[in-house]
């Protein structure tokens, strides 16, 4: 039995532990949907999967609380499938294995799925607990938030009945979010005719060990982007050693800062030693540039099987120049909130072979005009290299409402329980609140959650000490929801 089942509050941790046993990487929701429906049947609440693939649960009001405003508790069922390079974990079949270290719950060299398994577990606990007092409650557990917010985007209008939305997908206890950035996926591609390989040798160059991280929450921390740093090396090797590009694989999630990139290069045999020296010099340079931020950088060269074909020489120059020039990281902070990122981009995924290049970027902004600006900035860069660029999965930002009734209630409860004032903030991370508000504009919305660190990485962790106060606040707030 997992040791986290003995933690308090038991009902929250038990449900979270049960959820870790269900494979649920983004794009593979069948097992977790069935699990949630089985859970609802067992605890005696209504549940169904809607046409968007979301799971909706409904629990009637406690007798005497029927006149209270309805509350929608919202979380997403999928998790980001990231793991350490040496982990054999299969996210589509294997359960998450957890352990406790220094007051935090971790997984074994994989993402933990606390983002947003904690929110789902809280919804399950509310649905299960017969001792709670509350008005009518709905649980909205959305599909595939991490790879496109598909469940929220396809949420049917008229399905939800509540007046208040509590999004349980924030990761800083004591900080309530009342606004978030919008986002958009940028996919840019270039096709060409491969050419025969006329080089004598081939090598694989690997850059790994960067911390990676959440491309919204941690984009401002200056962490290394493996795709951008690999471009520096490849361009230098092209200019000085005449290397030819064979393939590139970097990053695997649009909303995760890429921590690893691999390229295969073809070159003259007598240039291999010089390339190895160049890679080692670049590794030392990165250690200096990222001192105190990145501590485990690995950059090395291995022999590779000689390929039959290469990327054409004129195309490889265009490709590398475009990657080199593409904006990545913070573009601007919010002028009136100078500590909050307004606009950013993440050069997330690069896949190159001998006849096609495909690149995925996630751009975010709290302003629609600046979102358009960063999109056109990136498109212009790739247009000059002959790429075809498409935009998809766009969602608007969530405009803050500092006069929110539910916010004031949560602030009051937090003060009563902790003796401290809560911090109200606007997040750069994308939350589904803005999309849901677009379909249900009457909702009063706040996002909250316990402490989760390094989501979207193999060091993701959930602070044990923050679980109980998070649960206590949720329970009291539900009891004190005002009448309609």
Tell me which of 17, 128, 144, 145 is the catalytic residue. 145
**Spatial separation of the C-alpha atoms in residues 126 and 478, rounded to whole Å:** 10
Q: Which helix (H) or strand (E) holds 200?
A: none
Tell me which of 78, 144, 444, 460 is the catalytic residue. 78
**Percentage of the chain with pLDDT > 90?**
95
- Give which of 452, 81, 74 is closest to 254, Cα–Cα: 81
Q: Buried b / exposed e across 307-331, counting CB within 10 Å, b at 16+?
A: beebbbeebbbbbbbbbeebbbbbb
Res. 336: pLDDT tops 90: no
The pLDDT-based confidence of 85 (bands split at 50, 70, 90) is confident
Q: State the average pLDDT over residues 63-86.
A: 96
Q: State the average pLDDT over residues 176-196.
A: 96
**Spatial separation of the C-alpha atoms in residues 169 and 404, rounded to whole Å:** 18
Q: State the average pLDDT over residues 298-306.
A: 97
Q: Is the pTM above the cut of 0.75?
A: yes
Q: Is 160 exposed, middle or buried (0-12, 13-18, 19+ CB in 10 A)?
A: buried
The pLDDT-based confidence of 356 (bands split at 50, 70, 90) is very high
Res. 1: pLDDT tops 80: no
Task: Using DSSP, state whether 11 is helix, strand or coil.
Answer: helix
Residue 34 in contact with residue 78, Cβ under 8 Å? no
**Euclidean distance between the first and the last CA atom of the chain, given in angstroms as a whole number:** 44
Q: What is the dihedral of CA 350, 290, 376, 354, to 10 degrees?
A: -20
Pick the range with the lowest mean pLDDT from 101-115, 127-141, 329-343, 411-425: 329-343
Q: State the average pLDDT over residues 76-82.
A: 96
pLDDT in tens, 242-251: 999 999 999 9
pLDDT in tens, 419-467: 999 999 988 988 999 999 999 999 999 999 999 999 999 999 999 999 9
Give the model's pLDDT for residue 332: 96
The Cα angle at residue 408 between residues 404 and 411, in degrees rounded to 5: 135
Which ranges in 225-271 belong to alpha helices (H)? Answer: 226-241
Q: Which helix (H) or strand (E) holds 394?
A: strand 388-395
**Spatial separation of the C-alpha atoms in residues 266 and 247, rounded to whole Å:** 10
Task: Using DSSP, state whether 284 is helix, strand or coil.
Answer: helix
Q: In whole numbers, what is the pLDDT of the chain averaged over residues?
A: 96
Q: 354: Cβ–Cβ under 8 A, 6 or more apart, which residues?
A: 194, 195, 246, 247, 307, 309, 310, 311
**Token digits of residue 296:** 């485990």
Res. 329: pLDDT tops 90: yes
Residue 170 in contact with residue 447, Cβ under 8 Å? yes
Has 145 been annotated as catalytic?
yes
Q: State the average pLDDT over residues 322-338.
A: 94
The pLDDT-based confidence of 399 (bands split at 50, 70, 90) is confident
Has 51 been annotated as catalytic?
no
**Token digits of residue 223:** 């962490």
Give the model's pLDDT for residue 52: 98
Q: State the average pLDDT over residues 144-154.
A: 93
**Spatial separation of the C-alpha atoms in residues 294 and 107, rounded to whole Å:** 21
């Amino acid at each position: 039995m997992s040791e986290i089942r003995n933690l308090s509050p038991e009902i929250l941790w038990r449900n979270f532990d049960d959820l870790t046993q269900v494979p649920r990487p983004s794009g593979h929701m069948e097992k977790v949907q069935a699990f949630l429906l089985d859970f609802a049947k067992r605890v005696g609440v209504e549940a169904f999967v809607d046409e968007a693939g979301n799971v909706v649960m409904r629990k009637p009001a406690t007798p005497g609380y029927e006149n209270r405003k309805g509350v929608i508790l919202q979380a997403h069922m999928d998790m980001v499938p990231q793991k350490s390079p040496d982990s054999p974990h299969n996210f589509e079949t294997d359960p998450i294995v957890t352990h406790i270290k220094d007051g935090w719950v971790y997984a074994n060299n994989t993402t933990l799925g606390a983002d947003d398994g904690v929110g789902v577990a809280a919804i399950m606990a509310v649905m299960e607990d017969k001792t709670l007092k509350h008005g009518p409650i709905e649980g909205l557990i959305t599909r595939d938030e991490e790879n496109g917010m598909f469940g929220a985007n396809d949420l049917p209008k008229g399905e939800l009945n509540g007046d208040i939305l509590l999004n349980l997908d924030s990761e800083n206890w004591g900080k309530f979010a009342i606004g978030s950035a919008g986002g958009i996926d940028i996919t840019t591609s270039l096709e060409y005719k491969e050419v025969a390989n006329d080089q004598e040798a081939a090598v694989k160059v690997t850059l790994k060990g960067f911390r990676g991280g959440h491309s919204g929450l941690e984009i401002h921390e200056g962490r290394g982007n493996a795709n951008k740093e690999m471009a520096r090396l490849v361009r230098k090797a092209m200019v000085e050693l005449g290397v030819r590009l064979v393939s590139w694989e970097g990053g695997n999630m649009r909303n995760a800062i890429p921590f690893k990139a691999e390229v295969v290069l073809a070159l003259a045999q007598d240039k291999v030693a010089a390339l190895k020296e160049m890679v080692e010099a670049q590794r030392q340079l990165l250690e200096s540039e990222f001192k105190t931020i990145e501590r485990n950088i690995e950059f090395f060269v291995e022999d590779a099987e000689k390929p039959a074909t290469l990327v054409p020489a004129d195309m490889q120059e265009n490709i590398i120049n475009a990657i080199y020039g593409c904006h990545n990281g913070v573009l601007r902070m919010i002028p009136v909130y100078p500590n909050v990122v307004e606009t950013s981009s993440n050069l997330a995924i690069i896949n190159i072979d001998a006849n096609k290049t495909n690149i995925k970027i996630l751009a975010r902004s709290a302003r629609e005009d600046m979102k358009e600006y960063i999109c056109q900035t990136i498109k212009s860069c790739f247009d000059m290299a002959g790429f075809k660029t498409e935009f998809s999965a766009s969602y608007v930002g969530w405009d803050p409402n500092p006069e929110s009734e539910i916010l004031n209630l949560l602030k009051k409860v937090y003060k009563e329980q902790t003796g401290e004032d809560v911090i109200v903030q606007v997040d750069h991370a994308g939350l589904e609140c803005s999309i849901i508000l677009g379909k249900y504009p009457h909702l009063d919305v706040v996002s909250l959650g316990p402490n989760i660190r390094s989501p979207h990485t193999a060091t993701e962790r959930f602070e044990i000490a923050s679980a109980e106060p998070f649960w206590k606040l949720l329970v009291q707030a539900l009891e004190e929801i005002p009448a309609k």
